[in-house]
Amino acid sequence: MFGAIIAVAAWFLLPFDMRIREIIVLGSFAPITIFSTKFTDSLTGNAKLAGFSLTVTAIISLVVMTALHAVLPGA
């Protein structure tokens, strides 16, 4: 949800070229859980679950970013 808010704000409010705004929009949907496994492991938590969530969010982000790249007018 927060990524969508950032993407909409970047697309409509930033004074950059359409291609740069597209890159920012795609970056807002990138998975941010890359450090979750190490952080969870350092807190003696469930690192396997954190690794699984990283995998799932990476796949979802890949699908969303590919669809957005195909639909945005800067493509």
| Alpha helices (runs of H) in 29-73, residue ranges in sequence order | 36-42, 47-71
Number of structural domains, the chain? Answer: 1
pLDDT, position 33:
67
pLDDT, position 42:
76
pLDDT digits (tens, 9 = 90+) for 1-16: 888 999 999 999 999 9
> Please, which residues have CB within 8 angstroms of residue 39's CB and are 6 or more apart in sequence?
50
pLDDT, position 75:
54
pLDDT digits (tens, 9 = 90+) for 29-57: 887 766 677 777 777 777 777 778 888 88
Rounded distance between C-alpha atoms, residue 60 and residue 68, angstroms:
12
- Report CA Rg, the chain: 15
**Reported pTM:** 0.73
Host domain of residue 23 = 2-71
> Please, which residues have CB within 8 angstroms of residue 18's CB and are 6 or more apart in sequence?
73, 74
DSSP state of 34: G
pLDDT, position 14:
94
